[in-house]
Amino acid sequence: MSDVFDPTRWKPAPFLPEADARDPALIFVIAVLCFLACLTALGGLAGDRAAGGWTGQLVGEATVIVRARGGESPDAAAARAAEALAGVSGVTEARALEREKAYALIRPWLGDGTDLDDLPVPRLVAVTLDRRAPATAITLDRALKAQGLDAVVDDHSIWIKDIRRAAGVVRWTAIAIFVLIAGGAAAVVAFATRAGLAARRDVVEVLHLTGAEDSQIASLFELRFARIAAVSGALGAAAAGLLGAGLRLAGGGQGITPALPIAWIDLLAVLPCPILAALVAAVAARLTARRLIQGL
Amino acid sequence: MSRNANDAAGNMSADEILRFSRVSMRYGRGPDVLSDVSLSLPRGSFHFVTGPSGAGKSSLLKLIYLAARPSAGSVRLFGEDVTQMAARDLPRTRRRIGVVFQDLLLLDHLSAFDNTALPLRIAGHKASEYRGDVAELLAWVGLGNRMGALPPTLAGGEKQRLAIARAVVNRPEILLADEPTGNVDHDMALRIYRLFVELNRLGTTVIIATHDQDLVARSGRPVLHLEKGRLKPLPPQGPVT
Protein backbone atom coordinates (compact mmCIF):
# COMPACT_ATOMS: atom_id res chain seq x y z
CA MET A 1 0.00 0.00 0.00
CA SER A 2 1.38 3.40 -0.87
CA ASP A 3 0.72 6.58 1.03
CA VAL A 4 0.98 10.22 0.09
CA PHE A 5 3.97 11.66 1.87
CA ASP A 6 5.91 14.72 0.83
CA PRO A 7 9.34 14.80 2.53
CA THR A 8 9.80 18.46 1.58
CA ARG A 9 6.80 19.39 3.75
CA TRP A 10 7.69 17.09 6.61
CA LYS A 11 7.97 18.55 10.09
CA PRO A 12 9.44 16.59 13.01
CA ALA A 13 6.76 14.98 15.17
CA PRO A 14 7.01 15.16 18.97
CA PHE A 15 9.07 12.33 20.44
CA LEU A 16 6.36 11.72 23.01
CA PRO A 17 2.79 11.01 21.88
CA GLU A 18 0.66 14.16 22.04
CA ALA A 19 -2.01 12.71 24.29
CA ASP A 20 -2.11 10.13 27.01
CA ALA A 21 -5.25 8.45 28.30
CA ARG A 22 -4.25 9.43 31.84
CA ASP A 23 -3.90 13.14 31.08
CA PRO A 24 -7.50 14.14 31.96
CA ALA A 25 -7.25 12.51 35.40
CA LEU A 26 -3.90 14.18 36.03
CA ILE A 27 -5.23 17.55 34.90
CA PHE A 28 -8.20 17.15 37.24
CA VAL A 29 -6.05 16.27 40.28
CA ILE A 30 -3.59 19.13 39.72
CA ALA A 31 -6.44 21.56 39.01
CA VAL A 32 -8.08 20.63 42.32
CA LEU A 33 -4.78 21.15 44.16
CA CYS A 34 -4.30 24.51 42.44
CA PHE A 35 -7.88 25.48 43.31
CA LEU A 36 -7.24 24.70 46.99
CA ALA A 37 -3.92 26.55 46.91
CA CYS A 38 -5.59 29.63 45.41
CA LEU A 39 -8.38 29.51 47.99
CA THR A 40 -5.76 29.31 50.72
CA ALA A 41 -4.00 32.34 49.27
CA LEU A 42 -7.28 34.28 49.06
CA GLY A 43 -8.20 33.27 52.61
CA GLY A 44 -4.78 34.29 53.87
CA LEU A 45 -4.97 37.69 52.19
CA ALA A 46 -8.48 38.36 53.47
CA GLY A 47 -7.55 37.25 57.00
CA ASP A 48 -4.50 39.47 56.92
CA ARG A 49 -6.63 42.43 55.79
CA ALA A 50 -9.20 41.77 58.54
CA ALA A 51 -6.51 41.67 61.20
CA GLY A 52 -4.92 44.81 59.75
CA GLY A 53 -8.26 46.61 59.87
CA TRP A 54 -8.95 45.66 63.48
CA THR A 55 -5.44 46.60 64.55
CA GLY A 56 -5.69 49.91 62.72
CA GLN A 57 -8.93 50.76 64.51
CA LEU A 58 -7.49 49.91 67.91
CA VAL A 59 -4.21 51.71 67.31
CA GLY A 60 -6.10 54.90 66.46
CA GLU A 61 -8.13 54.96 69.65
CA ALA A 62 -7.76 54.96 73.43
CA THR A 63 -10.32 54.90 76.21
CA VAL A 64 -9.90 56.74 79.50
CA ILE A 65 -11.88 55.80 82.63
CA VAL A 66 -12.33 58.84 84.86
CA ARG A 67 -13.39 58.62 88.50
CA ALA A 68 -14.67 61.71 90.32
CA ARG A 69 -12.54 62.87 93.22
CA GLY A 70 -13.49 65.11 96.16
CA GLY A 71 -16.68 67.06 95.57
CA GLU A 72 -16.34 67.06 91.80
CA SER A 73 -19.15 65.41 89.84
CA PRO A 74 -18.26 62.53 87.50
CA ASP A 75 -19.45 64.51 84.47
CA ALA A 76 -17.31 67.52 85.40
CA ALA A 77 -14.25 65.28 85.93
CA ALA A 78 -14.85 63.66 82.54
CA ALA A 79 -15.18 67.05 80.85
CA ARG A 80 -11.96 68.22 82.47
CA ALA A 81 -10.17 65.05 81.38
CA ALA A 82 -11.38 65.48 77.79
CA GLU A 83 -10.17 69.06 77.78
CA ALA A 84 -6.76 68.07 79.16
CA LEU A 85 -6.33 65.25 76.67
CA ALA A 86 -7.39 67.34 73.67
CA GLY A 87 -4.33 69.47 74.17
CA VAL A 88 -1.86 66.60 74.16
CA SER A 89 0.33 66.19 71.08
CA GLY A 90 -0.72 63.08 69.10
CA VAL A 91 -4.38 63.41 70.07
CA THR A 92 -6.84 64.38 67.33
CA GLU A 93 -9.96 64.43 69.44
CA ALA A 94 -10.97 63.70 73.07
CA ARG A 95 -14.66 63.41 73.85
CA ALA A 96 -16.41 62.67 77.18
CA LEU A 97 -19.07 60.05 76.56
CA GLU A 98 -22.60 60.55 77.82
CA ARG A 99 -23.35 59.07 81.23
CA GLU A 100 -25.83 56.66 79.58
CA LYS A 101 -22.96 54.96 77.79
CA ALA A 102 -21.14 54.37 81.07
CA TYR A 103 -24.39 53.17 82.64
CA ALA A 104 -25.00 50.82 79.72
CA LEU A 105 -21.63 49.22 80.33
CA ILE A 106 -22.23 48.65 84.04
CA ARG A 107 -25.95 47.82 84.01
CA PRO A 108 -25.54 44.12 83.04
CA TRP A 109 -23.75 43.55 86.36
CA LEU A 110 -26.10 45.55 88.59
CA GLY A 111 -29.48 44.97 86.92
CA ASP A 112 -32.17 47.36 85.77
CA GLY A 113 -33.58 48.00 89.28
CA THR A 114 -30.52 49.87 90.54
CA ASP A 115 -30.52 53.66 90.46
CA LEU A 116 -27.09 54.30 89.00
CA ASP A 117 -27.30 58.03 89.72
CA ASP A 118 -26.72 57.16 93.39
CA LEU A 119 -23.48 55.33 92.59
CA PRO A 120 -20.08 56.86 91.76
CA VAL A 121 -20.06 55.37 88.27
CA PRO A 122 -16.86 56.32 86.40
CA ARG A 123 -17.19 58.18 83.14
CA LEU A 124 -15.54 57.34 79.83
CA VAL A 125 -13.52 59.60 77.57
CA ALA A 126 -13.01 58.42 73.98
CA VAL A 127 -9.69 59.59 72.57
CA THR A 128 -8.96 59.60 68.84
CA LEU A 129 -5.24 59.48 68.18
CA ASP A 130 -3.21 60.88 65.34
CA ARG A 131 -2.44 57.70 63.28
CA ARG A 132 0.85 59.08 61.99
CA ALA A 133 2.24 59.97 65.44
CA PRO A 134 -0.14 58.68 68.11
CA ALA A 135 0.27 59.80 71.74
CA THR A 136 1.33 56.97 74.04
CA ALA A 137 -0.59 55.79 77.10
CA ILE A 138 2.19 57.23 79.29
CA THR A 139 1.81 60.70 77.74
CA LEU A 140 -1.95 60.62 78.23
CA ASP A 141 -1.57 59.42 81.82
CA ARG A 142 0.90 62.20 82.54
CA ALA A 143 -1.48 64.85 81.17
CA LEU A 144 -4.32 63.53 83.34
CA LYS A 145 -2.18 63.41 86.48
CA ALA A 146 -1.05 66.97 85.85
CA GLN A 147 -4.70 67.99 86.14
CA GLY A 148 -5.09 65.99 89.38
CA LEU A 149 -7.51 63.55 87.78
CA ASP A 150 -8.07 59.97 88.96
CA ALA A 151 -8.06 58.17 85.60
CA VAL A 152 -6.95 54.98 83.94
CA VAL A 153 -5.81 54.97 80.30
CA ASP A 154 -6.55 51.93 78.13
CA ASP A 155 -4.71 52.17 74.80
CA HIS A 156 -5.93 48.66 73.74
CA SER A 157 -2.33 47.40 73.58
CA ILE A 158 -3.34 44.00 75.03
CA TRP A 159 -5.93 43.51 72.26
CA ILE A 160 -3.58 44.74 69.57
CA LYS A 161 -0.99 42.17 70.62
CA ASP A 162 -3.61 39.41 70.53
CA ILE A 163 -4.92 40.46 67.15
CA ARG A 164 -1.40 40.74 65.71
CA ARG A 165 -0.61 37.29 67.08
CA ALA A 166 -3.82 35.92 65.58
CA ALA A 167 -3.05 37.56 62.23
CA GLY A 168 0.43 36.00 62.31
CA VAL A 169 -1.07 32.58 62.97
CA VAL A 170 -3.49 33.04 60.05
CA ARG A 171 -0.68 34.19 57.76
CA TRP A 172 1.73 31.37 58.62
CA THR A 173 -1.04 28.77 58.57
CA ALA A 174 -2.00 29.92 55.07
CA ILE A 175 1.64 29.76 53.95
CA ALA A 176 2.07 26.29 55.48
CA ILE A 177 -1.08 25.00 53.77
CA PHE A 178 0.04 26.58 50.50
CA VAL A 179 3.46 24.89 50.75
CA LEU A 180 1.82 21.56 51.64
CA ILE A 181 -0.47 21.78 48.64
CA ALA A 182 2.44 22.73 46.37
CA GLY A 183 4.34 19.74 47.77
CA GLY A 184 1.31 17.54 47.10
CA ALA A 185 1.15 18.81 43.52
CA ALA A 186 4.87 18.11 43.09
CA ALA A 187 4.41 14.58 44.45
CA VAL A 188 1.52 13.97 42.07
CA VAL A 189 3.62 15.17 39.14
CA ALA A 190 6.59 13.05 40.25
CA PHE A 191 4.31 10.03 40.45
CA ALA A 192 2.82 10.84 37.04
CA THR A 193 6.31 11.27 35.59
CA ARG A 194 7.30 7.85 36.86
CA ALA A 195 4.16 6.37 35.35
CA GLY A 196 4.77 8.32 32.14
CA LEU A 197 8.34 7.07 31.93
CA ALA A 198 7.22 3.52 32.59
CA ALA A 199 4.52 3.80 29.93
CA ARG A 200 6.95 5.39 27.48
CA ARG A 201 9.94 3.27 28.29
CA ASP A 202 10.18 2.42 24.59
CA VAL A 203 10.74 6.08 23.71
CA VAL A 204 13.16 6.60 26.58
CA GLU A 205 15.13 3.48 25.68
CA VAL A 206 15.39 4.31 21.98
CA LEU A 207 16.42 7.89 22.66
CA HIS A 208 18.91 6.75 25.28
CA LEU A 209 20.50 4.12 23.05
CA THR A 210 20.67 6.35 20.00
CA GLY A 211 22.76 8.90 21.86
CA ALA A 212 20.33 11.33 23.51
CA GLU A 213 21.72 13.13 26.55
CA ASP A 214 19.89 12.47 29.81
CA SER A 215 18.92 16.13 29.91
CA GLN A 216 17.39 15.88 26.41
CA ILE A 217 15.15 13.01 27.48
CA ALA A 218 14.29 14.62 30.80
CA SER A 219 13.34 17.86 29.05
CA LEU A 220 10.68 16.02 27.04
CA PHE A 221 8.93 14.97 30.25
CA GLU A 222 9.65 18.32 31.85
CA LEU A 223 7.92 20.21 29.04
CA ARG A 224 5.04 17.76 28.88
CA PHE A 225 4.22 17.94 32.59
CA ALA A 226 4.86 21.69 32.75
CA ARG A 227 2.28 22.13 29.99
CA ILE A 228 -0.23 19.89 31.76
CA ALA A 229 0.35 21.70 35.07
CA ALA A 230 0.00 25.12 33.42
CA VAL A 231 -3.38 24.12 31.97
CA SER A 232 -4.43 22.58 35.31
CA GLY A 233 -3.20 25.67 37.17
CA ALA A 234 -5.21 27.94 34.88
CA LEU A 235 -8.34 25.86 35.48
CA GLY A 236 -7.84 25.76 39.27
CA ALA A 237 -7.05 29.49 39.40
CA ALA A 238 -10.08 30.34 37.29
CA ALA A 239 -12.35 28.30 39.56
CA ALA A 240 -10.89 29.89 42.69
CA GLY A 241 -11.12 33.36 41.11
CA LEU A 242 -14.76 32.80 40.22
CA LEU A 243 -15.54 31.59 43.73
CA GLY A 244 -13.68 34.57 45.23
CA ALA A 245 -15.57 36.97 42.96
CA GLY A 246 -18.84 35.26 43.90
CA LEU A 247 -18.10 35.63 47.60
CA ARG A 248 -17.17 39.28 47.10
CA LEU A 249 -20.34 39.98 45.16
CA ALA A 250 -22.55 38.04 47.57
CA GLY A 251 -21.31 40.06 50.54
CA GLY A 252 -21.39 43.50 48.94
CA GLY A 253 -18.82 46.00 50.10
CA GLN A 254 -17.93 44.03 53.22
CA GLY A 255 -17.36 40.72 51.46
CA ILE A 256 -19.20 37.55 52.41
CA THR A 257 -18.33 38.11 56.04
CA PRO A 258 -16.51 40.90 57.86
CA ALA A 259 -14.16 38.26 59.26
CA LEU A 260 -12.74 37.57 55.77
CA PRO A 261 -13.18 40.71 53.71
CA ILE A 262 -12.10 39.61 50.21
CA ALA A 263 -11.19 42.58 48.02
CA TRP A 264 -11.25 42.64 44.23
CA ILE A 265 -7.50 43.17 44.16
CA ASP A 266 -7.05 39.89 46.09
CA LEU A 267 -8.27 38.02 43.02
CA LEU A 268 -5.00 38.97 41.30
CA ALA A 269 -3.30 36.52 43.68
CA VAL A 270 -4.56 33.59 41.60
CA LEU A 271 -2.85 34.86 38.43
CA PRO A 272 0.65 33.39 39.11
CA CYS A 273 -0.90 29.98 39.81
CA PRO A 274 -0.43 28.50 36.29
CA ILE A 275 3.19 29.66 36.18
CA LEU A 276 3.94 28.37 39.69
CA ALA A 277 2.22 25.05 38.92
CA ALA A 278 4.22 24.70 35.70
CA LEU A 279 7.47 25.46 37.54
CA VAL A 280 6.75 22.96 40.32
CA ALA A 281 5.77 20.33 37.75
CA ALA A 282 8.81 21.00 35.58
CA VAL A 283 11.22 20.68 38.50
CA ALA A 284 9.49 17.53 39.81
CA ALA A 285 9.41 15.94 36.34
CA ARG A 286 13.02 16.82 35.59
CA LEU A 287 14.36 15.43 38.87
CA THR A 288 12.27 12.26 38.59
CA ALA A 289 13.08 11.67 34.93
CA ARG A 290 16.81 12.19 35.38
CA ARG A 291 16.94 9.83 38.32
CA LEU A 292 15.07 7.16 36.40
CA ILE A 293 17.09 7.59 33.20
CA GLN A 294 20.34 7.30 35.10
CA GLY A 295 19.08 3.96 36.35
CA LEU A 296 18.66 2.58 32.82
CA MET B 1 39.39 -10.48 10.10
CA SER B 2 39.00 -11.21 13.80
CA ARG B 3 41.87 -12.34 15.91
CA ASN B 4 42.07 -13.70 19.42
CA ALA B 5 43.40 -10.96 21.63
CA ASN B 6 44.00 -12.90 24.82
CA ASP B 7 47.57 -11.79 24.80
CA ALA B 8 46.96 -8.50 23.11
CA ALA B 9 46.93 -5.96 25.90
CA GLY B 10 47.79 -2.32 25.37
CA ASN B 11 46.87 0.24 22.73
CA MET B 12 44.76 -0.39 19.68
CA SER B 13 46.34 -0.25 16.28
CA ALA B 14 45.13 2.34 13.79
CA ASP B 15 43.04 -0.14 11.80
CA GLU B 16 41.41 -1.58 14.92
CA ILE B 17 37.94 -0.33 15.84
CA LEU B 18 37.01 -2.63 18.73
CA ARG B 19 38.94 -4.59 21.30
CA PHE B 20 37.70 -6.75 24.16
CA SER B 21 40.39 -7.64 26.72
CA ARG B 22 39.41 -10.51 29.05
CA VAL B 23 35.85 -9.24 29.34
CA SER B 24 33.32 -10.82 31.66
CA MET B 25 29.79 -9.66 32.23
CA ARG B 26 26.90 -10.53 34.51
CA TYR B 27 23.47 -9.10 35.25
CA GLY B 28 23.18 -8.05 38.89
CA ARG B 29 24.43 -10.85 41.11
CA GLY B 30 23.71 -13.55 38.57
CA PRO B 31 26.25 -15.81 36.91
CA ASP B 32 28.60 -14.60 34.19
CA VAL B 33 26.87 -14.40 30.81
CA LEU B 34 30.21 -13.62 29.21
CA SER B 35 33.48 -15.02 30.54
CA ASP B 36 36.99 -13.93 29.71
CA VAL B 37 36.17 -12.81 26.18
CA SER B 38 39.00 -11.26 24.20
CA LEU B 39 38.74 -10.17 20.61
CA SER B 40 39.91 -7.50 18.25
CA LEU B 41 38.07 -6.30 15.14
CA PRO B 42 39.59 -4.23 12.36
CA ARG B 43 37.85 -1.17 10.97
CA GLY B 44 35.63 -1.97 7.98
CA SER B 45 35.31 -5.66 8.81
CA PHE B 46 32.15 -7.78 8.66
CA HIS B 47 31.55 -10.40 11.35
CA PHE B 48 28.81 -12.71 12.40
CA VAL B 49 28.29 -13.58 16.07
CA THR B 50 26.79 -17.02 16.40
CA GLY B 51 25.95 -19.44 19.16
CA PRO B 52 22.99 -21.16 20.76
CA SER B 53 20.32 -19.24 22.68
CA GLY B 54 21.73 -17.90 25.95
CA ALA B 55 25.31 -18.10 24.69
CA GLY B 56 25.79 -14.34 25.27
CA LYS B 57 25.40 -12.93 21.75
CA SER B 58 23.02 -10.12 22.75
CA SER B 59 25.10 -9.36 25.84
CA LEU B 60 28.20 -9.02 23.68
CA LEU B 61 26.38 -6.53 21.46
CA LYS B 62 25.06 -4.65 24.51
CA LEU B 63 28.61 -4.10 25.67
CA ILE B 64 29.50 -2.70 22.26
CA TYR B 65 26.53 -0.35 22.00
CA LEU B 66 27.14 0.79 25.57
CA ALA B 67 23.90 -0.44 27.09
CA ALA B 68 25.89 -2.38 29.70
CA ARG B 69 29.31 -2.34 31.32
CA PRO B 70 31.54 -5.36 31.85
CA SER B 71 32.01 -6.78 35.32
CA ALA B 72 35.66 -7.49 34.49
CA GLY B 73 38.10 -6.68 31.72
CA SER B 74 38.06 -3.71 29.37
CA VAL B 75 36.34 -2.71 26.16
CA ARG B 76 38.08 -0.27 23.84
CA LEU B 77 35.99 1.33 21.14
CA PHE B 78 37.23 3.91 18.60
CA GLY B 79 40.50 3.92 20.53
CA GLU B 80 38.90 4.82 23.89
CA ASP B 81 38.42 2.66 26.94
CA VAL B 82 34.64 2.86 27.24
CA THR B 83 34.74 0.80 30.44
CA GLN B 84 36.09 3.82 32.28
CA MET B 85 34.18 6.42 30.31
CA ALA B 86 32.13 8.94 32.33
CA ALA B 87 28.36 8.59 31.91
CA ARG B 88 28.14 12.10 30.42
CA ASP B 89 30.50 11.09 27.59
CA LEU B 90 28.60 7.94 26.59
CA PRO B 91 25.91 9.64 24.41
CA ARG B 92 28.63 11.15 22.17
CA THR B 93 30.11 7.68 21.59
CA ARG B 94 26.69 6.04 21.13
CA ARG B 95 26.04 8.39 18.20
CA ARG B 96 28.91 6.70 16.33
CA ILE B 97 27.18 3.33 16.60
CA GLY B 98 24.13 2.12 14.70
CA VAL B 99 22.01 -0.64 16.20
CA VAL B 100 19.28 -2.84 14.76
CA PHE B 101 17.74 -4.15 17.97
CA GLN B 102 16.39 -7.67 18.24
CA ASP B 103 12.91 -6.33 18.98
CA LEU B 104 13.53 -3.40 16.60
CA LEU B 105 12.37 -0.74 19.12
CA LEU B 106 10.53 1.27 16.50
CA LEU B 107 8.33 4.00 17.92
CA ASP B 108 4.78 3.15 16.94
CA HIS B 109 3.45 6.70 17.17
CA LEU B 110 6.05 8.06 14.74
CA SER B 111 5.97 7.66 10.96
CA ALA B 112 8.65 5.68 9.15
CA PHE B 113 10.20 9.02 8.18
CA ASP B 114 10.21 10.28 11.79
CA ASN B 115 11.62 6.99 13.08
CA THR B 116 14.44 7.18 10.55
CA ALA B 117 15.21 10.82 11.26
CA LEU B 118 15.34 10.26 15.03
CA PRO B 119 19.14 9.84 15.44
CA LEU B 120 19.74 12.99 13.37
CA ARG B 121 17.31 14.99 15.49
CA ILE B 122 18.98 13.74 18.65
CA ALA B 123 22.34 14.80 17.25
CA GLY B 124 20.92 18.30 16.84
CA HIS B 125 20.74 18.53 13.03
CA LYS B 126 18.16 20.80 11.42
CA ALA B 127 15.34 19.18 9.46
CA SER B 128 16.26 21.14 6.35
CA GLU B 129 19.72 19.53 6.40
CA TYR B 130 18.57 15.92 6.34
CA ARG B 131 15.08 15.73 4.80
CA GLY B 132 16.50 14.72 1.43
CA ASP B 133 18.95 12.20 2.90
CA VAL B 134 16.25 10.45 4.94
CA ALA B 135 13.94 10.20 1.92
CA GLU B 136 16.80 8.84 -0.17
CA LEU B 137 17.74 6.29 2.49
CA LEU B 138 14.15 5.07 2.86
CA ALA B 139 13.96 4.66 -0.88
CA TRP B 140 17.25 2.75 -0.79
CA VAL B 141 15.88 0.23 1.74
CA GLY B 142 12.72 -0.13 -0.36
CA LEU B 143 10.39 1.99 1.77
CA GLY B 144 10.13 4.94 -0.60
CA ASN B 145 6.37 4.56 -0.77
CA ARG B 146 5.88 3.94 2.97
CA MET B 147 7.54 7.04 4.41
CA GLY B 148 4.41 8.29 6.17
CA ALA B 149 3.33 4.88 7.43
CA LEU B 150 3.27 4.06 11.13
CA PRO B 151 5.26 0.94 12.13
CA PRO B 152 2.19 -1.10 13.18
CA THR B 153 0.97 -0.88 9.58
CA LEU B 154 4.24 -2.21 8.13
CA ALA B 155 4.98 -5.85 7.27
CA GLY B 156 7.74 -7.72 9.14
CA GLY B 157 10.35 -7.21 6.43
CA GLU B 158 9.44 -3.54 6.10
CA LYS B 159 9.91 -3.05 9.84
CA GLN B 160 13.32 -4.70 9.67
CA ARG B 161 14.38 -2.44 6.83
CA LEU B 162 13.03 0.60 8.67
CA ALA B 163 15.09 -0.37 11.73
CA ILE B 164 18.15 -0.69 9.48
CA ALA B 165 17.47 2.72 7.94
CA ARG B 166 17.30 4.29 11.40
CA ALA B 167 20.50 2.50 12.42
CA VAL B 168 22.52 3.79 9.47
CA VAL B 169 21.03 7.24 8.85
CA ASN B 170 23.75 9.06 10.76
CA ARG B 171 26.48 7.04 8.99
CA PRO B 172 27.73 5.12 12.02
CA GLU B 173 31.23 3.70 12.11
CA ILE B 174 29.94 0.42 13.55
CA LEU B 175 26.63 -1.20 12.70
CA LEU B 176 25.34 -3.85 15.09
CA ALA B 177 22.36 -6.04 14.31
CA ASP B 178 20.79 -8.49 16.72
CA GLU B 179 18.94 -11.26 14.88
CA PRO B 180 17.99 -8.95 11.99
CA THR B 181 16.60 -11.82 9.93
CA GLY B 182 14.90 -13.64 12.78
CA ASN B 183 11.31 -12.89 11.78
CA VAL B 184 11.47 -12.73 8.01
CA ASP B 185 11.40 -15.33 5.26
CA HIS B 186 14.46 -16.56 3.44
CA ASP B 187 14.19 -14.15 0.51
CA MET B 188 13.75 -11.15 2.78
CA ALA B 189 16.69 -12.37 4.91
CA LEU B 190 18.87 -12.34 1.80
CA ARG B 191 17.66 -8.84 0.84
CA ILE B 192 18.47 -7.56 4.30
CA TYR B 193 21.86 -9.26 4.27
CA ARG B 194 22.66 -7.57 0.96
CA LEU B 195 21.88 -4.20 2.58
CA PHE B 196 24.46 -4.95 5.27
CA VAL B 197 27.00 -6.01 2.65
CA GLU B 198 26.41 -2.76 0.77
CA LEU B 199 26.85 -0.71 3.94
CA ASN B 200 30.03 -2.61 4.72
CA ARG B 201 31.28 -1.92 1.22
CA LEU B 202 30.78 1.78 1.95
CA GLY B 203 33.12 1.46 4.96
CA THR B 204 30.89 0.60 7.92
CA THR B 205 32.12 -2.10 10.29
CA VAL B 206 29.27 -4.63 10.57
CA ILE B 207 28.61 -7.12 13.37
CA ILE B 208 25.54 -9.32 13.10
CA ALA B 209 24.34 -11.68 15.82
CA THR B 210 22.32 -14.46 14.27
CA HIS B 211 21.02 -18.00 14.54
CA ASP B 212 20.79 -18.25 10.78
CA GLN B 213 23.58 -20.75 10.10
CA ASP B 214 22.60 -20.99 6.48
CA LEU B 215 23.11 -17.25 5.98
CA VAL B 216 26.44 -17.40 7.81
CA ALA B 217 27.65 -20.31 5.75
CA ARG B 218 26.62 -18.72 2.46
CA SER B 219 28.26 -15.40 3.31
CA GLY B 220 31.72 -16.81 3.95
CA ARG B 221 32.26 -14.00 6.49
CA PRO B 222 34.32 -14.49 9.67
CA VAL B 223 32.44 -15.75 12.71
CA LEU B 224 32.71 -15.08 16.45
CA HIS B 225 31.18 -18.19 17.96
CA LEU B 226 29.97 -18.07 21.57
CA GLU B 227 29.09 -20.98 23.82
CA LYS B 228 28.12 -20.48 27.44
CA GLY B 229 29.57 -16.98 27.37
CA ARG B 230 32.95 -17.99 25.98
CA LEU B 231 34.41 -17.55 22.53
CA LYS B 232 34.93 -20.99 20.96
CA PRO B 233 36.18 -22.23 17.63
CA LEU B 234 33.31 -22.55 15.19
CA PRO B 235 32.08 -26.14 15.13
CA PRO B 236 32.30 -27.94 11.78
CA GLN B 237 29.39 -27.02 9.51
CA GLY B 238 27.40 -29.39 7.34
CA PRO B 239 27.28 -28.88 3.58
CA VAL B 240 25.35 -25.82 2.45
CA THR B 241 22.63 -26.64 0.01
pLDDT per residue as tens digits for the range A72-119: 888 888 899 999 998 899 889 988 888 777 777 777 777 776 676 777
Give the count of Cβ contacts less than 8 A between chain A and B: 76
pLDDT of the residue at A259: 62
Calculate what percentage of chain B has a pLDDT beyond 90: 70
* Those residues with Cβ within 8 angstroms of residue A143's Cβ, 6 or more apart along the chain or in another chain: A84, A85, A87, A88
How do residues B76-95 score in pLDDT, each as one tens digit? 999 999 998 998 899 999 99
pLDDT of residue A256: 54
Given a cut of 60, whether residue B61 has pLDDT beyond it is yes
Which residue from A13, A210, A294 is facing B119, i.e. has the nearest CB?
Answer: A210
Written as one letter, the residue type at A5 is: F
* Chain B CB contacts of A211 below 8 Å: 91-92, 94-95, 119, 122-123
What average pLDDT does the segment B66-71 reach?
A: 93
| A273-286: average pLDDT | 88
Which candidate, A138, A155, A134, A157, places its Cα nearest to that of A146? A138
Q: Name the CATH code of domain A59-160 (choices 3.30.70.100, 3.30.1360.30, 3.10.129.10, 3.30.460.80).
A: 3.30.70.100
Q: Tell me the C-alpha distance between B219 and B213, whole Å.
A: 10
**Cβ–Cβ below 8 Å for B118 and A209:** no
Q: What mean pLDDT value characterizes chain A? A: 83
Residue B91: closest CA among A216, A118, A175: A216
Q: Are A5 and B114 a contacting pair at CB < 8 A?
A: no
- What pLDDT is attached to residue A182? 78
CB atoms inside a 10 Å sphere around CB A253? 7
Angle at B122 between CA B60 and CA B79, to 5 degrees: 45
Query: What count of Cα atoms within 13 Å lies in the side-chain half-sphere of residue A288?
Result: 23
Nearest to A15 by CA among A200, A154, A279, A176: A200
DSSP-derived letter for residue A269 is G
Find the mean pLDDT for residues B213-228: 91
Please report the beta strands in chain A, taking only residues with DSSP state E, as ranges in sequence order: 61-67, 91-96, 123-129, 150-154
Q: How far is CA B76 from the centre of its chain?
A: 16
| Domain residue extents for chain A | 19-55+166-294, 59-160
Least confident interval from A34-43, A253-262, A284-293: A253-262
Rg (CA), chain A: 33
- What's the confidence (pLDDT) of residue A5? 85
Residues of B with CB under 8 A from a CB of A: 65, 67, 87-88, 91-92, 94-95, 99, 101, 105, 107-111, 113-114, 117-119, 121-123, 127, 131-132, 134-135, 145-149, 153, 166
Asked if A124 and A102 touch (Cβ cutoff 8 Å), the reply is yes
- Distance from C-alpha of A273 to C-alpha of A24, rounded to nearest angstrom: 19
CA atoms within 13 A on the CB side of A51: 19
The bridge status of strand B72-77 relative to strand B80-81 is antiparallel
Q: What is the CATH number of domain B16-96+172-232?
A: 3.40.50.300
* pLDDT attached to residue B49: 96
Q: What are phi and psi of A33, to 5 degrees?
A: -60, -40
CB B75 within 8 A of CB B84: no
Least confident of A8-22, A117-131, A239-253, B6-20: B6-20
Q: For B24-43, write each residue's pLDDT tens digit.
A: 999 988 999 999 999 999 99
Closest C-alpha among A47, A254, A62, A66 to residue A160: A62
Strands in A123-129's sheet, in edge-to-edge order, are A91-96, A123-129, A61-67, A150-154
Please give the C-alpha separations between residue A167 and each of A50, A171, B122, in angstroms, as whole numbers.
8, 6, 54
Q: Is the dihedral of CA A168, A169, A174, A175 positive or negative?
A: positive
Domain boundaries, chain B: 16-96+172-232
Q: Does residue A121 carry a pLDDT above 90?
A: no
Q: Does residue B240 carry a pLDDT above 60? A: no
pLDDT at residue B238 tops 80:
no
Residue pair A68/A120 in contact (Cβ under 8 Å)? The answer is yes
Q: Which pLDDT belongs to residue B241?
A: 42
Most confident of A48-62, A127-141, A186-200, B192-206: B192-206
Q: How confident is the model at residue B8 (pLDDT cuts 50, 70, 90)?
A: very low
Q: pLDDT band at residue A257, thresholds of 50, 70 and 90?
A: low
Looking at the DSSP bridge assignments, the partners of residue A33 are: none
Residue A58 predicted with pLDDT over 80: no
Q: Which range is most confident: A47-51, A220-224, A256-260, B151-155?
A: B151-155
| Host H or E run for residue A80 | helix A74-86
Contact A68, A76 (CB under 8 A): yes
- pLDDT of A4 > 60? The answer is yes
Cβ contact A210–B95 (<8 Å): yes
Q: pLDDT value at position B5?
A: 44
pLDDT of residue A200: 80
